[in-house]
Amino acid sequence: MSAAVPYVIESGILIMPSLPPRLSLHFVLAGATIVLVSGCGNENAEVRESAVTLVSPIVLSTELAPVITDDTREVIARISVRNPTSDPLRIISISSSCGCLSAELGSSHLGPLRETTLTLRIGVNGKVGRRTVHGRLRTDRELEFQYQVSFTALQRIETEHYHWSFGKLNTTERVVRDIVIRTNALAGDEPPRILDVNTGYSGLQCSIETDRLLSSRRGVSTREVTLRLALTPETAIGAGSAYVQLKYEYGGNELVKSLPVFWRVDSLYHITPARLVCVSTEPDQLFEREILLKRRDGQPFRIRCVQSDSERVSIRI
């Protein structure tokens, strides 16, 4: 039926001529224009605007600028619904299906068109990554619109993984790893600068190798820092861990973020359960035996078992 209805498009808005009452539903659905205005953080934030013509099923969708989250942050989006019809519908309620999203009906202006402003508040609550939240609008004609708001939440200090791992190594190794971290800020602000790095473990050294600003992308400015970690596990056998403390500056304040590092140390020399028997026929006779074994890395080594009496045995590698 919609193909038989005459219409024209002007400046991205679908304009419909007068329709008989029996077609009023199609008139509302096809003629209304949604202008999505999105911002972040406060009413003075920079906004973007785009117009979308309603079709059925109706889904209002807008993309917010990225959000930098530390612990808890609130994102504000404003959506204006405009109805360029002779008998515009009125939005009477708004609801959400997500606990982190609250929505309020704002002003409603009726002139050549009805414009209703909605304010959506989204709690980030420290969660990072891509997020989409949903809700519904109910009108005075028992019509429901579904809306969704999408955004990406980024950490102030961003790492590829929550923790870093050196894997398995032995007591004679010194392992070096280069780790890349990123600090983020909204476009126009300078990303946090790493002032100092240190660890609480004498066998783990950390230094800043490179520090460079990347070009701003999608409303976010980023600094990329390469840290060099050098681990010498000394003589500790088994699982080990330490924290790398990053001291950085943001908003005129010096802050600290701790990142965990894990590793596991095995002894280089490993003898599988076996009986190395050195027997002397005389208690005071010196007895020696040389045995060829292999290390964990596959390299052979020799041990010399020396028995000087029936109670003491010394092994030399």
pLDDT in tens, 172-196: 677 888 888 999 988 888 899 999 9
- The residue extents of the domains of the chain are 2-154, 157-266, 272-317
Tokens of 205: 């050294």
Token pair recorded at residue 210: 């490179």
* pLDDT, tens only, 102-151: 777 776 766 666 777 777 787 777 778 888 888 887 777 776 777 777 88
d(CA 195, CA 157) in angstroms, rounded, equals 13
Q: Which of 2.60.40.10, 2.60.40.3880, 3.40.50.970, 1.20.1440.60 would CATH assign to domain 2-154?
A: 2.60.40.10
| Residues counted in the chain | 317
CATH number for 157-266 (one of 1.10.10.10, 2.60.40.2310, 2.60.40.1080, 1.20.120.1200): it is: 2.60.40.2310
Q: Comparing 2-154 with 157-266, is the CATH topology the same?
A: yes
Write the CB contacts of 76 (distance below 8 Å, at least 6 apart in sequence): 39, 40, 41, 42, 43, 45, 119, 120, 121, 122
End-to-end CA distance of the chain: 92
Q: How far is CA 122 from the centre of its chain?
A: 17
pTM > 0.75? no
**Helix, strand or coil, per DSSP, at residue 1:** coil
